[in-house]
Structure 1
Amino acid sequence: MTRKDHSQGTDDTLAKLGFADAEELSAKAVLAIKLNELIDKRGLSQIKTAHITGMTQPKVSQVRRYKLQNISLERLMQALVSLDQHVEIIIRPARRANGAGITVAA
């Protein structure tokens, strides 16, 4: 399995586009990509995905279309856990080269 880390460049691009929450949106996007990959791999409908994850079908539709402004990071993580994934959060001091921030790897 390949591990993909989201890059700081994504955050910079979203910030330049005027998104005040660029870092959070970037993290959400990585989680949504993984969630959508699992949905596709398992051949789940939006209704079945909603039933398994506890989300509503309209929320699943938003994730499928990467409309993530109204979906929390926590909700995306819980959906991944519902699909038998392990989500790990690691907190450590920021290195000077990278600075403080959020990194999501899937």
Structure 2
Amino acid sequence: MARTDEPEGTDNVLFDLGFEDAEDLSAKAALAFRLNQLIDQRGLSQAEAAAIIGMTQPKVSQLIRYKIQNISLERLMRALVSLDQHVEIVVRPGRPTQAPGIKVV
């Protein structure tokens, strides 16, 4: 028999799992993913990455393991800029088909 009382999912798995700060964590995860790609592509050690992006080695270790609750969005964006990336923030009104929120593309 099919269940009919299953909750409907959203685009954000963190929200579906009950994280109160799901939008923030999703944005941070997207930025951390890009940072990890850049660190890997450049073959940087954690210590080398820390020196370039202005974090401590333990903070870079957290970043690499996606333990990002204690790292701000601003800090992640500044780290990307330190690795020669362009970070752009676009603010526009919400549309009827799209709820207000934060999204990193």
Q: TM-score with structure 1 length normalisation?
A: 0.87
Query: Which residue identity lines up with residue 98 of structure 1 in the other structure?
Result: Q
Gapped runs of 5+ residues in structure 2? 1-9
Higher relative contact order (CA 8 A, sep 6+): 1
Secondary structure of 1:102's counterpart equals: coil
Q: Which residue of 2 aligns with 1:97?
A: 97
Deviation (angstroms), 1:18: 2.0
Give the whole-Å Cα distance in 2 for the aligned partners of 1:84 and 1:16: 34
Supply the distance in 2 between the matched residues of 1:57 and 1:18 (Cα, whole angstroms). 31
Root-mean-square deviation (CA, aligned residues, Å) is 0.9
Larger radius of gyration: 2
State yes or no: 1:84 paired with 2:84. yes
Compare the two structures and name the one with the higher helix fraction: 1
Over 2 Å off, 4+ runs: none
Supply the AA of the counterpart residue of 2:29.
A
Unaligned regions of 5+ residues in structure 1, if any? Answer: 1-7
Matched residue, 1:28? 28
Q: How many residues align?
A: 96
1:3-82 matches, within 5 Å, as 9=11, 11=12, 13-82=13-82
Amino acid in structure 2 at the alignment position of 1:43: G
Q: Percent identity?
A: 67
Partner amino acid for 1:69? Q
